[in-house]
Amino acid sequence: MSGVVGRRLRKLDSLKKATGEAVYADDISLPRMLHAKILRSPHAHARIKKVDFARALKHPGVMGVLEGKELPGKYGIIPWTQDETALAVNKALFIGDEVAAVAAVDELAAQEALELIDVEYEVLPALVEPEAALADKANVLHEGNKHGNVTKHVDLTFGDVEAALAKSAAVVEENFFYAGSTHTPIEPHCAVAQYDGEGNLTVWSSTQIPHYVHRELSKVLGIAPARVRVIQPFLGGAFGGKSDPFSLEFVVAKLAMKLGRPVKCLFTREEVFWAHRGRHPMKMRFKVGLSKEGAIEAVDSKILIDGGAYSSFGLVTAYYSGQLLTGPYQFGTYHFDSTRVFTNKPPCGPKRGHGSVQPRFAFEVALDMAAEKLGLDPIEVRRRNFIGQNVKTVNGQQITSNGFLQALEAVEKASGWKERKGKLGYGKGLGVAGSMYISGTAYPIYPNDMPQSGIQVKLDRSGKVTIFSGASDIGQGTNSQVAYLIAEEIGCDPRDCTVVAADTDLTPVDLGAYSSRGTFMVGIACVEAGQKLWALLSQAVGEKWGVSTEQVDASWGTFRGPQVDQQMSFRDAVQLTEAKFGTLGATGSYRTEKLGGDYRGGTIGASPAYSFTAHVAEVHVDVETGQWKVQRIWAAHDCGKAINPTLVEGQIEGSVYMGFGEAAMEEMTYYPSGLHKGPSLLDYRIPTSVDTPELSAMIIESVDPKGPHGAKEAGEGPLHPVIPAISNAIYDAVGVRFTELPFYPGQLFKMLKEKKA
Amino acid sequence: MLTLPPFEYHAPMELADALALLQKHAGKVKLIAGGTDLVPNMKHRLFMPEHVVGLKQISELNGVRGEGGFLVIGAMTSIADLARNPRVALLFPSLARAATAIAGPQLREMGTLGGNLCLDTRCVYYNQTHFWRKALGYCLKKDGTVCHVVKGGQKCVAAASNDTAPVLLTLGASVELASPNGRRAIPLEEFYVADGVANTVIEPNEILTKVRVPIPRAGLVTGYQKLRIRAAIDYPSLCVAVAAQQQADGKLEWVRMVISALGSKPHTVKRLEGFQGRALDAATIAELGQAAHRQCHPLTNINVETGWRREMIPVFVRRAFAEAMK
């Protein structure tokens, strides 16, 4: 034990970010570099008849152009649903869909040239609402799709739901609506491409999935994968918004190849809204039945998912909207019926808490309604339904560690629930909610038998430890985590580690920063690599001291034996070991075990470990205006083991902030034409520091038997309960329920008025 | 990133030089004070001036000073300086409060009082990129012929969104406008017109140089309330400014209320003469709230529920008076 894991440490790169030294994609500037801009469709649904570049090519500074048919290869994150092209080949499917591109000597010239591209469109009827898209069999977005405008339909039943509902003492049946929201990373998407004389393509991209970008670039551009290199520089946030391959990556690559000059493309903020892939709007009908004692007998949901124009992760979204609801509570029976539909709007995808934040909101509010019917305390009803540890959920997911009860108790205590609930007076209330989330998904996105994560470590006789990690640090601190875990195993000072990350030429494959897989999967690979090196180090040092390997200890750069004079620097230990074994290096990898229910789709949502969260929110309502304020949110999260508690707290706070924003003000809204109502950070409001409530982040450590040092995820789970906890608190405060997001004060004002009348 | 269209930048040291530049490049020139309104609007291609004249170097446009019975505030005084000026806070708490409610700290350092008074009107269909407006089909304020707020509407209803204007209106302020022909002072009440395309009477060859606010006698109370979805960096969904002159016995000599951010012109609530001589008590304030409510009809020029914006008027009138009398 070397005392790195569990300590509050600064991120390895935090000063670089604070001082501006960190290099982001847009900071990259290469000699002779051109700037590309993408022309976008002003129509929500239109056939492209003709693209004429004649005028654009005459514009001063323009060096080249690109149209859809030059890059006809389809791509997409899910191999079975690839329906995107870099630029529209035949049809544009939403306002903002990519149609053509231009490269010029600077951004301004490129932007001006866009106005000079003449596109002839045949405008088709726009399907903006999912119900309309579902009903329309003639007007199909993706022509040839045998299910019309349905992208995925999932219908799974576990037990006799009808019978269970019939015998329930309290049944709640309610409609919920979750407005779409988007990620708003502060860094917009950016990519730079260089194609050298030897036929090697290098793409720097603000992506959280360099491996998939590598695969798709190779496929679409028709270049051998060994000739394609993808590098992820520092990233200014992603939250799932950079986990698809995006048009600009293909566009800069193709233009660089065509023109023989490096090309950069940086999205504007508005373009980030067009690229979107944010949280799906969901219309949800929930039936929840509880026994007299409060046991959850039956849960039945029907969910209509508004997918936007492309598939993205949608197949997974449809499953996640049902598969991830079956904890932390035991469900007697369960049925969900989820349909994802294509509409002529920017595509939805994975946003922090992919697919499960929406049904979690609906369910946790419905649970409160049912508890009220039975006269049960909202915390008590959740406690009574605790599913336990080392159990299978109703849909066959294997739960290992489970600290939900401790989390619930922590927020109950910290919020003074027992003393204060129901005694705060009109206008003030407390609300609770719980949730669970995955630590990575057992099933890789494309089927293969290779590891999901890999680590290579090089020990240098200088004492420097270089770690090659394929994982994507998108701000959550994966690179630091990698260094902590290696340092923990081999006894070096983590600050003596250099992490070379997310560069497909240099680092082993990692599937990317999604599904909260980093700490768990990359962590296990680190532990394996570290242990291999420790075996060599401890053997060489043990031999030198004449003690067994078990008697050798090392921490923070110093090796120690049982005798006081047995002490050695890490560097000396490496030199001793290198002398004995030769050049030092090791690899580690994470392979998924076979998990999940034995039915079609049973592997989706199957995770090697689940995190659990409980929140209590205290809300004060201004009953004259409908404005409400969260006084404080107490958030307790079971992350298994906090490898660095400061980073875990940061993830809890960031999650609560993001969920609060969705509850309070964030909404992707469109006019009937399919035009987004305000694709900017002025119109699409996210909370400022003045809006953000006080947060109490509490760490619960259940020490998972499989996780690295017992660790599970912390980056997405803590978002889930925020929204229902706030809705439940508003109900507690003023007796009206929000079943639709966001909880606009104007709407609350109206509801209060109606209630009075 | 959204690019700025190219332009030539001028930074005159003297007002006369700035006026000469306006004259010389008439029709192709914009003034820039703090730039917090103009720069995004240029990036959105709402304005593409060939020349931009910066006012920062002109010293006579800066500063807050007493002059006779007036507090004179230079047009280039930053919103942040206005918010933290002790005389402003003492004499006109509502003005200090309005200044503090504008945008966020960095933008308040950049933005100026003159700029805020000349703020372009705002509308969800207008303050968007060129691509967006093209996808919409443009609007009658810029590049188009139809109004998307009022179907069939012939008059632009983009909203006056300046926080300082309603307050200064309640304080009886006037502005000075300089042109090559000299200077004219006009009451702020006559400065704004109900036209969303251009809601002030400032001529293209004029520069707003200063604001004069009469220094109050004892018994003036002022208040300002702003409705917004986000607690910072948000334009108002509704502004309510109030001022009342009380006599020694507490009876009202006059009372003024200006409601803004609903239409293209800040609305000065009319027919309040009847309140003269009344005590500023709860019943009076409730009646004042109802008077304001009756006269205001917000439009869907912003994405915030119109009915709610209207219903908040009496509540905010009451709160503004409560704050005023603290």
- DSSP strand pairing (A465-469 vs B174-179): unpaired
Q: Is there a single domain that holds both residue A616 and residue A727?
A: yes
Mean pLDDT of chain A: 97
**Average pLDDT over chain B, rounded to an integer:** 97
Query: Between chains, do A750 and B134 touch, taking CB under 8 Å as contact?
Result: no
Cβ within 8 Å, pair B312-A688: no
Residue B184: pLDDT over 70: yes
List the strands of the sheet with A497-501, edge to edge.
Answer: A497-501, A465-469, A453-459, A584-590
State how far residue A42 is from chain B, nearest Cα, in angstroms: 4
- Residue A583 and residue A461 share a domain: yes
Q: Of all helices (H) and strands (E), which one includes residue A581?
A: helix A570-581
The letter for the amino acid at A355 is G
B322 interfaces chain A, CB cutoff of 8 Å: no
Residue B18 has pLDDT above 90, yes or no: yes
The one-letter amino acid code at B105 reads P
**Domain-located, residue A313:** no
Round to whole Å and give the CA distance between B101 and A270.
26
Cβ–Cβ of B136/A675 closer than 8 Å? yes
**Secondary structure (H, E, C), A154-187:** EEEEECCHHHHHHCCCEEEEEEEEECCECCCCCC
d(CA A255, CA A261): 8
CA distance B101 to A559: 59
A408 and A475 share a domain? no
- Among the partner residues B229, B309, B312, nearest to A665 by beta-carbon distance: B229
Closest alpha carbon within chain A to B101: A690
Closest approach of A686 to chain B, Cα-based (Å)? 8
> Comparing C-alpha atoms, which of A188, A191, A189 is closest to residue A263?
A191
Q: Read off the pLDDT of each residue in A706-732 and give the average, rounded to a whole number.
A: 98
HEC sequence for A48-97: EEEEECHHHHHCCCEEEEEEHHHCCCCECCCHHHCCECCCCCCEECCCCC
What percent of chain A has a predicted confidence (pLDDT) above 70? 100
CB A319 within 8 A of CB A399: no
The dihedral formed by the CA atoms of A642, A646, A650 and A653, expressed in degrees to the nearest 10: 80
The pLDDT value recorded for residue A445 is: 87
Q: Do domains B1-58 and B59-118+159-214 have the same CATH topology?
A: no
Task: Provide mean pLDDT across the span A171-177.
Answer: 98
- The confidence band for A699, taking pLDDT boundaries of 50, 70 and 90, is very high
Q: Would you say residue A319 lies in a domain?
A: no
- Identify all chain B residues contacting A673, using CB atoms and an 8 Å cutoff: 135-136
* Residue B1 pLDDT > 90: no
Co-location of A646 and A749 in the same domain: yes
For A679, the closest of B1, B132, B134 (CB atoms) is: B132
**Residue A128 neighbours by CB distance under 10 Å:** 20
Interface touch A624/B315, C-beta < 8 Å: yes
CA distances from A452 to A445, A510, A586 (A): 10, 6, 17
> Which residue in A has a C-alpha nearest to residue B6's C-alpha?
A108
- What is the distance in angstroms between the Cα of B2 and the nearest Cα belonging to chain A? 6
Torsion angle in degrees (nearest 10) through CA of A101, A106, A111, A113: -70
Pick the CATH number of B220-324 from 3.50.50.60, 3.30.390.50, 1.10.340.30, 1.10.10.10: 3.30.390.50
Contacts of B311 in chain A (CB under 8 A): 749
User: B143: pLDDT confidence band, cut at 50, 70 and 90?
Assistant: very high
Q: Which residues of A sit within 8 Å Cβ distance of B?
A: 40, 42-43, 95, 107-108, 111, 188, 266, 268-270, 624-626, 665, 669, 673, 675-680, 682-683, 685, 687-691, 744-747, 749-750
Looking at the structure, tell me whether residues A378 and A454 fall in a common domain.
no
- Whether A211 maps to a domain, the answer reads yes
CB within 8 Å of chain A, chain B residues 29-48: none
- Show the domain range for A667: 353-437+607-756
- Residue carrying structure tokens 């520069």: B207
Q: Nearest to residue A592, comparing CAs of A384, A443, A419?
A: A443
Q: Which CATH architecture has domain B59-118+159-214?
A: 2-Layer Sandwich (3.30)
CB proximity under 8 Å: B 194-233 to A: 227, 229-233
User: DSSP letters along B38-104, please?
Assistant: HHHHHHTTS---SEEEE-TT-GGG--EEEETTEEEEETT-BHHHHHH-HHHHHH-HHHHHHHHTSS-
Residue A442 has a pLDDT of 86
Distances from the Cα of B220 to the Cαs of A211, B167, B255, B270, in angstroms? Answer: 68, 13, 9, 19
**Nearest residue of B to residue A114 by CA position?**
B131
Q: Identify from A273, A691, A753 which residue to disrupt to test chain B contact, counting B C-beta atoms within 10 A and taking the largest count.
A: A691
Query: Does residue A686 lie within any of the structural domains?
Result: yes
- Amino acid letter, A383: R
Does a structural domain hold residue A297? Answer: no
Q: How confident is the model at residue B303 (pLDDT cuts 50, 70, 90)?
A: confident
> Could you give the count of Cα atoms lying within 13 Å of A614 in the half-sphere of its Cβ?
24
In chain A, what percentage of residues exceed pLDDT 90? 98
Of A563, A590, A617, which residue sits at a domain end?
A: A590
Average pLDDT over residues A274-288: 98
Q: How far is B232 from chain A (nearest CA, A)?
A: 7
Contact A688, A384 (CB under 8 A): no
User: How far is it, in rounded angstroms, from Cα B27 to Cα A367?
Assistant: 64
Residues A621 and A691 placed together within one structural domain of the fold: yes
Closest residue of B to A107, CA-based? B3
The number of domains in chain A is 3
Q: Cα A307 from chain centroid?
A: 17
With CB atoms and an 8 Å threshold, state whether A677 touches B6: no
CB pair distance less than 8 Å for A107 and B233: no
Which of B1, B134, B304 is nearest residue A42 as measured by Cβ atoms? B134
Distance CA A365, CA A372 (A): 11
* Structural Rg of chain B based on CA atoms: 20
Chain A contact for B136, CB < 8 A? yes
Is A453 found in the same domain as A420? no
| pLDDT beyond 70 at B234 | yes
| A266 contact residues in B (CB cutoff 8 A) | 1
Look at chain A and count its residues: 757
Q: Is residue A137 part of a domain?
A: no
Query: Which SS3 state, helix, strand or coil, does residue A695 take?
Result: strand
Please tell me the predicted confidence (pLDDT) of residue A383. Answer: 98
Residues A546 and A623 in one domain: no
Which residues, 6 or more positions from B45, have their beta carbon under 8 angstroms from its beta carbon?
B5, B129, B130
3-state secondary structure A231-271: ECCECCCCCCCCCCCCHHHHHHHHHHHHHCCCEEEECCHHH
Nearest by CB: B2 against A268, A625, A745: A268
Instruction: Clarify whether residues A537 and A552 are in a common domain.
Output: yes
Q: What is the CATH number of the domain that holds A255?
A: 3.90.1170.50
Q: Do B308 and A749 touch (CB under 8 A)?
A: yes
Q: Which residues of B touch A687 (CB under 8 A)?
A: 230
Closest among A97, A7, A481, A594 to A308, alpha carbons compared:
A97
Return the pLDDT at A2: 72
ipTM summary value = 0.96
pLDDT at A564 over 90: yes
Taking CB atoms and an 8 Å limit, are A270 and B131 in contact across chains? yes
pLDDT at A593: 85
Instruction: Find chain A residues with C-beta within 8 A of B303's C-beta.
Output: 669, 677-678, 683
The answer, for B151 touching chain A at a CB cutoff of 8 Å, is no
Q: Residue B49: its pLDDT value, please?
A: 98
d(CA A349, CA A353): 11
pLDDT tens-digit map of B187-232:
999 999 999 999 999 999 999 999 999 999 999 999 999 999 999 9
| Among B residues 48-87, those touching chain A with beta carbons less than 8 Å apart | none
In the structure encoding, which two tokens stand for residue A34, read together?
A: 């051109």
Tens digits of per-residue pLDDT, A608-642? Answer: 999 999 999 999 999 999 999 999 999 999 999 99
Q: How far apart are CA A595 and CA A398, in angstroms?
A: 7
**Co-location of A106 and A247 in the same domain:** yes
Distance from the B214 Cα atom to the nearest Cα atom in chain A, whole angstroms = 34
pLDDT surpasses 60 at A1 = no
- Structural domain boundaries in chain B: 1-58, 59-118+159-214, 220-324
Could you say which of B1, B127, B315 has the minimum Cβ distance to residue A625?
Answer: B315
Residues from chain B that touch A744, judged by Cβ atoms under 8 A, are 229, 305
The residues, any chain, with a CB within 8 Å of residue B255's CB and separated by 6 or more, are: B242, B243, B244, B245, B272, B275, B280, B288
Q: How confident is the model at residue A443 (pLDDT cuts 50, 70, 90)?
A: confident
Q: Distance, in angstroms, between B113 CA and closest chain A CA?
A: 21
Burial of A295 by CB count in 10 Å (0-12 exposed, 13-18 middle, 19+ buried)?
Answer: middle
User: What pLDDT is recorded for position B115?
Assistant: 98
Could you tell me the fold of the domain covering B1-58?
A: 3.30.43
Read off the tokens for B156: 């632009």
Closest-CA distance, B85 to chain A, in angstroms, reads 23
Residues A365 and A495 in one domain: no
Burial of A448 (0-12, 13-18, 19+ CB in 10 A): exposed
Q: Over range B251-274, report the average pLDDT.
A: 97
Q: If you average pLDDT over residues B56-77, what whole number do you get? A: 96
CATH of the domain at A396: 3.30.365.10
Task: Let me know: does B113 contact B79? Beta carbons within 8 Å.
Answer: yes
Burial (CB count <10 Å: 0-12, 13-18, 19+), residue A414: middle
* Domain annotation covers residue A681: yes
Smallest CA-to-CA distance from A38 within A82, A77, A73, A71 is with A71
A196 plus A215 within the same structural domain = yes
- pLDDT one-digit tens code per residue, A233-243: 999 999 999 99
Tell me which of A270, A668, A751 to substitute to probe the interface with B (most B C-beta atoms closer than 10 Å).
Answer: A270
Please report the number of interchain residue pairs, chain A to chain B, with beta-carbon separation below 8 angstroms: 78
Alpha helices in A340-491 (DSSP H): 357-374, 378-384, 404-414, 417-420, 478-490
A757 — pLDDT class (breaks 50, 70, 90): confident
Question: CA-nearest residue of chain B to A36?
Answer: B1
pLDDT at residue A334 is higher than 70: yes
